[in-house]
Structure 1
Amino acid sequence: MNEQPLNGPDVPRGCPVAHGGADFTRLYGPEAATDPQGIYERLRKEHGSVAPVLLEGDVPAWLVLGYRDSRRVLDNPSQFPRDSRTWRDWQEGRIAETSALVPMLAWRPDCVSQDGEPHRRLRGAVNDVLQAAVGRGIRRHATHFANKQIDRFAAVGRAELVADYADFVPMLVMSRVLGLAEVEGRRLVESCGQLLKGGEDAVEHDGIIREILGKLVEHRRAEPSSDLATDLLDHHAALDHDEVVDHLRMVMIAAAVTTNLLARVLRLVLTDASRLSGLIGGQLNISAVMGEAMWNSPPLSVLPGRFAAGDIELGGHRIEGGDLLVLGLAPGNFDPEARPDAGASVEGNQAHLAFGSGPHECPGQSMGQSMIEIAVDVLLHRLPGLRLAVPADELTSTASTWESRLDSLPVEFSV
């Protein structure tokens, strides 16, 4: 499918260019990488709760910025299905097979890409196997890999907690749960991260992920074991090969998103002495810090994607059938209509958008939270005197279309 220019007589109906001439904003590029929040707020002022944007390759979409509009889209799959085969730009050949958007938006035989009865069948299988994984000791695996990563730097007195710790612990835990060898789990860290970053290598890394998981499925078909891959193969929903592979892929990408949340939680802990002492002393529960992170810096800033089933009004804009919508989880959490005082405490408030909403709400959220709880607890109790090695205002992030990821978190500690 070849990309075509977004101007002239071939401009697709519903395209942001068609709706506002040259008045559109790219959600990728240098400004988006360094100041995504600034872009979100400018778009909110200019367009309201829904704004026309361009994704990588200048692909048109509607960015939903409003909290209530996001919930409306997420909770109504009949009006806004997840099935990208209804995406007009895809149907009409404007999206290249090599587009960086393909790994995140193209249809796949998994529960994320489907609605109605197919979704219920596959989602039921996923829920069952994830529950079985919890029963096999997810917290034990998290404790094991947290300690194993810390062993790599514990004697040095310093570490970089994004690259040395947060990027690995959830991924290694889920690799073990899936049934992969640790070496394959470490290979997946890079490929899942590159897929979320987008860019010209996204499709290549998606292929690496599928190759690793495809081999695992074939191996487990011949030699079953006590792992998630085997559970999916044996489930009464009778998933075929591709369905199993794509659901394992879905779980690993979710683990990659969890690495970002772990890094954000660690940043909150290490930039506030009262939080740090409260956690170490037992006066503060890590769930409160996770809740703050999920409100103020959700691990996915923008959730892909939904597609209008027909012409509809949303946020004062005419959305046309086949238009792509992406959900602004980060700007939605800061919507002044839903959260007038952005500085007010969010403790105990679970109404954030970080896990999505509706039928496609993240199925593994409790598992991810358990991994983060263990990873933070082990780190704080293994490394006495843990502290930031740089001033807090020197910590930076780099954003892609889908997420804003902490660049580094250098620390020092006693040995």
Structure 2
Amino acid sequence: MTTPHHEPTGTATAPPPGCPAHAGGLNGLRRLFGPEAEQQPYAFYETLRREHGPVAPVLLYGDIPVWLVLGHRENLEVMRSPRFSSDSRHWRAVQEGRLAPDSPLVPMTAWQPLVAFMDGEEHARLRSAVTESLERVNRHSMRRYINRYANQLIDGFAARGQADLVADYAKKLPALVVAQQFGIREEHALALGNAVADMISGSENALQSNAFIVEIMTELVERKKKQPGNDFASWLIRHDSGLDDVEAVQHLRHALVASLENCVNLIANTLRVVLTDRRFRGSLSGGQMTLPDALEQVLWDHPPLAVVPTRWAVGDTVLGGKEIRAGDMVMLGLAAGNVDPAMRPDLDAPVHGNRSHLSFGAGAHECPGQDIGRAIADTGIDLLLSRLPDMMLTIDASELQVVGNWMSRRLISLPVGFTPHRRADHTGETALPSVGAALPPIAMPEPPAPRQEPRRPAGRRSGLLGWLRRR
């Protein structure tokens, strides 16, 4: 989907010697934060691409110079090459004391004993614990829970004839399903979902939300050590890799945040496109695109994370024609790479069956639970559109609000109206916890990413297709 280009507004003054700007022989850098980059990110990427090619120097908070990778091939090169490390202790800005202790970059880049910040043998040890534990999740059983929670959520608003599909559905369904698969108590699921969203947004309560997540994960580890079950937490704790309690808590927290943020955005963005984009809906109504195809199109055009700031050059090297110095931050531009003209010369052309987008990464750090997110989104959206086939937006598409920063963008709400429905019969299912579950007042000290799912047969027609045909 094409994005109009806008002329750039303002550049920074000449950078100091030794930063990426001089390594590329440039006189000034654009800022990756602020209105120009955050309000029209795709136009910003194309401006950088015209000026610098597939790798561009930009400024982050505190005018820290870094590299933003715009090219699809160059992003894959960074993800797969040992020339670039995920260990933030390589970052020269930290070594030279140029990163302020209160910088917004610290929570995202400060080194932790997490698989996301590891390389080599230690990364392999932690990665095997995460991936092999995720592989034990029973996909058939999980889909039954997706259906159960999706039906109960729909029952909560079906009789009203209106809903906000972000607040009432997209934010809640992943939290409930993921909590069940992790072994988290059901009564904590929605509160955890709220806490993750609050922490990602960087609100004034972000630290409290993070503390709440850590407390629940700590309780989970303690409980599952005594009473293990058939769940991700139990398998992770008992894995042969021998994670200690701190490692287990931190990896459960990391997996929870990554899975919820990605899945919520995937569901919300897919529903938005289906409800607002006539070309997209026309392709579906013509029988040319299945729901899994629709999800992949959204992953190309609206990746859950736009930029990932977790790669650093191990030594002096060259990338995309730019001279990269040892210790430079090299940020993965997932959204920019997905619209690289070298990869997609026609952004309006559908990408049926093409999973070579960058949304889940690649190489040693590729997201290990991506099929779980796809299953939640696919099954949840299919069921929603089957039960409420006449949904329509209650506001103009131009009024939909998207907020975020240079790393990610989120749809605020998706208000729809439909014919009111009576509650469906779900015999034997227990009630959900209160949808208004709030964060408890916890004060704690600050604490120290999926297997490919088999594609459905081309002849399968989802509730989405039936919904479109009936319309």
Q: CA deviation at 1:110?
A: 2.2
- Relative to structure 2, which stretch is displaced further, 249-258 or 55-64? 55-64
Counterpart for residue 250 of structure 1: 254
Q: CA deviation at 1:203?
A: 4.8
CA contact (8 A) 1:17 1:24 kept: no
Q: Does 1:223 align with 2:227?
A: yes
Q: CA deviation at 1:55?
A: 2.5
Gaps of 5+ in 1: 1-5
Q: CA deviation at 1:19?
A: 6.2
Counterpart for residue 181 of structure 1: 185
CA contact (8 A) 2:23 2:324 kept: no
CA contact (8 A) 1:356 1:362 kept: yes
Aligned residue for 1:63, secondary structure, equals strand
Aligned counterpart for 1:70 among listed residues 68, 71, 75: 75
Runs of 4 or more above 6 Å deviation: 6-9, 17-22, 277-283
Q: Does 1:232 align with 2:236?
A: yes
Q: Does 1:390 align with 2:398?
A: no
Q: Aligned AA for 1:113? A: F
CA contact (8 A) 1:16 1:60 kept: yes
Rounded Cα–Cα distance in structure 1 between residues aligned with 2:116 and 2:322: 26
Structure-1-length-normalised TM-score: 0.90
CA contact (8 A) 1:142 1:375 kept: yes
Q: Does 1:331 align with 2:321?
A: no
Q: Does 1:99 align with 2:106?
A: no
Q: CA deviation at 1:273?
A: 6.1
Q: Does 1:148 align with 2:152?
A: yes
CA contact (8 A) 1:304 1:326 kept: yes
Q: Does 1:376 align with 2:381?
A: yes
Alignment of 1:150-299 (within 5 A): 150-198=154-202, 202-254=206-258, 255-272=260-277, 284-299=289-304
CA contact (8 A) 2:308 2:334 kept: yes
CA contact (8 A) 2:311 2:329 kept: yes
C-alpha distance after superposition, 1:27-79 (max 9, x if no partner): 22233332111211111111211111223343332110111111110111x20
Gaps of 5+ in 2: 1-11, 421-471
- Relative to structure 2, which stretch is displaced further, 316-325 or 92-101? 92-101
In structure 2, relative to structure 1, the CA distance for the partners of 1:7 and 1:187 (3 Å cut) is farther
Q: CA deviation at 1:117?
A: 1.3
- Relative to structure 2, which stretch is displaced further, 305-314 or 178-187? 178-187
CA RMSD of aligned residues (A): 2.7
Rounded Cα–Cα distance in structure 1 between residues aligned with 2:250 and 2:410: 25
Rounded Cα–Cα distance in structure 1 between residues aligned with 2:308 and 2:13: 27
Q: CA deviation at 1:191?
A: 2.8
Rounded Cα–Cα distance in structure 2 between residues aligned with 1:31 and 1:48: 19
CA contact (8 A) 2:72 2:340 kept: yes
CA contact (8 A) 1:270 1:388 kept: yes
Aligned counterpart for 1:362 among listed residues 354, 358, 367: 367
Percent sequence identity over aligned pairs:
44
Aligned residue for 1:152, secondary structure, equals helix
CA contact (8 A) 1:101 1:198 kept: no
C-alpha distance after superposition, 1:320-372 (max 9, x if no partner): 11111111111111111222111112111111111111111111111110010
How many equivalent pairs are there? 408
Q: CA deviation at 1:223?
A: 2.8
Alignment of 1:52-67 (within 5 A): 52-67=57-72
In structure 2, relative to structure 1, the CA distance for the partners of 1:279 and 1:172 (3 Å cut) is farther
In structure 2, relative to structure 1, the CA distance for the partners of 1:390 and 1:353 (3 Å cut) is same
Of structures 1 and 2, the larger Rg is shown by 2
